[in-house]
Amino acid sequence: MSNIHVTTKINGDPTEYLCAPDETLLDVLRDRLGMTGSKEGCGTGDCGACSVTINGRLVCSCLVLGAEAEGAEIETIEGMADGDQLHPLQQKFIEHAALQCGICTPGILVAAKSLLEKNPDPTEEEARYWLAGNLCRCTGYDKIIRAVLDTAADLRKAS
């Protein structure tokens, strides 16, 4: 099995890597590129902890082959803050105590950012359904949903 050379852009950085044909993007990120912010909770697309965006589309990186990223633009949790400036969602998650153990947090933040880009004024129900693929076992989702809705409200005010 020979490796495939992939040229892509991750969080704005031009990136090249070699990967096996059946290697997932998640494994590439974590094991080859040292970007361990995306987490593997299930490996089957059921938990959302590995959420990233590819060309702006929210996906589970465990269900994408590394080879598929050729020419794509990938955004991961590592690229969410702008330098030392946290994304408003990141700030609100800390303020709302929307994380306990924090393992699901990167995936939920990536998914929530994607939600607010698509829908700046989600209802509670819309936020809950959008995030249904991101499992959290600690919080009961209450503070997560509050943090997302509060961020959305702030961003609307600011714009």
Partner 1 sequence: MRYLAPTTLDDAIQLLSGDPGDCRVLAGGTDLLVRLRSGDAEPDSILDIKRIEDLRQITKEDGGWLIGAAVSSAEMNEHAELKAAYPGVCEAADLIGSTQIQGRCTLAGNLCNASPAADSVPAMVAVRAVARVAGPNGTRDVAVEDIPTGPGKTSLEKGEFVASIFLPAKPDRSGDAYLRFIPRTEMDIAVVGCGLSLTLDNDGTCTDARVALGAVGPKVMLVDAAAEALIGTKLDDAAMQALSKACSDAATPIADKRGTVEFRTHVAGVLARRAAAIAKTRAEG
Partner 2 sequence: MALDSKQVLDTQQFKIVGTRPLRPDGIDKVTGKARFGADITAPGMLIGKVLRSPHAHARIKSIDTSAAEAIEGVHAVVTRADFAEITDDDATADVLDNCMAGEKALYDGHAVAAVAASSGHIAKKALKAIKIDYEVLDHVTDVDRAIADGAPVLHEGRADESVPEGSSPNIMARYEFGHGDIDAGLAQADQVIERSYRTEATHQGYIEPHACLAQMSQDGQADLWCCTQGHYMVRNTCAAILGLDQGQLRVTASEIGGGFGGKTTVFLEPVALMLAKKSSRPVKMVMTRSEVLRATGPTASSSVDIRIGMTKDGRITAGFAELRYQGGAYPGSPVEMGSMSAFAPYDLENVKTVGWDVVTNRPKQAAYRAPGAPMAAFAVESAIDELAKGLGLDPLEVRLKNAAREGTKASYGPTYPAIGLEATLRTAKDHPHWTAPLGPNQGRGVACGFWFNFGGDTCVTLNITPDGTVTVSEGNPDIGGSRASMSMMAAEELGIPYNKVRTIVADTGSLGQNEVTDGSRVTFAVGLATIEAARAAKREMCRRVAKVWGIDEDAVEWRDGAVHPTGHNAGSHDPMTLAEIAAIASNTGGPIAGHHEANPEGAGVSFATHMVDTEVDPDTGAVKILRYTVFQDAGKAVHPAYVEGQFQGGATQGIGWALNEEYIYGEDGTLQNAGFLDYRIPVASDLPMIDTVILEIPNPGHPYGVRGVGETSIVPPLAAIANAVSEAAGVRMTDLPMSPPKVLKAMQDK
Please report, as ranges, the residues that interact with partner 1 according to CB under 8 A: 1, 4, 20-22, 24, 43-46, 48, 51, 57-60, 62-65, 67-68, 70, 111, 114-115, 129-134
Range list of H helices, 5-104: 25-27, 88-95
139 binds partner 2 (CB under 8 A): yes
Q: Binding to partner 2 (CB under 8 A): which residues in 74-133? A: 76-78, 80-81, 86, 90, 93-97, 99-106, 109, 124-125, 127-129, 131-133
Cβ 32 to partner 2, closest distance in Å? 11
| Phi, psi at 121, each rounded to 5° | -130, 60
21 binds partner 2 (CB under 8 A): no
Relative to beta strand 51-54, strand 73-75 is antiparallel
Pick 7 or 117: Cβ nearer partner 2 = 117
73 binds, among partner 1, partner 2, none (CB under 5 to 8 A by kind): none
Cβ 35 to partner 1, closest distance in Å? 18
Pick 103 or 155: Cβ nearer partner 2 = 103
The count of residues interacting with partner 2 (CB under 8 A) is: 57
Q: How many CB atoms neighbour CB 68 within 10 A?
A: 14
C-alpha Rg value of the chain to the nearest Å: 16
Cβ 7 to partner 2, closest distance in Å? 23
Pick 71 or 147: Cβ nearer partner 2 = 147
Query: What string of DSSP letters covers 83-149?
Result: TTB--HHHHHHHHTT--SS-SSHHHHHHHHHHHHHH-SS--HHHHHHHGGGS--SSSTTHHHHHHHH
Give the relative orientation of helices 105-118 and 142-158 as an angle to the nearest 10 degrees: 40
33 binds partner 2 (CB under 8 A): no
Distance separating alpha carbons of residues 150 and 155, to the nearest angstrom: 9
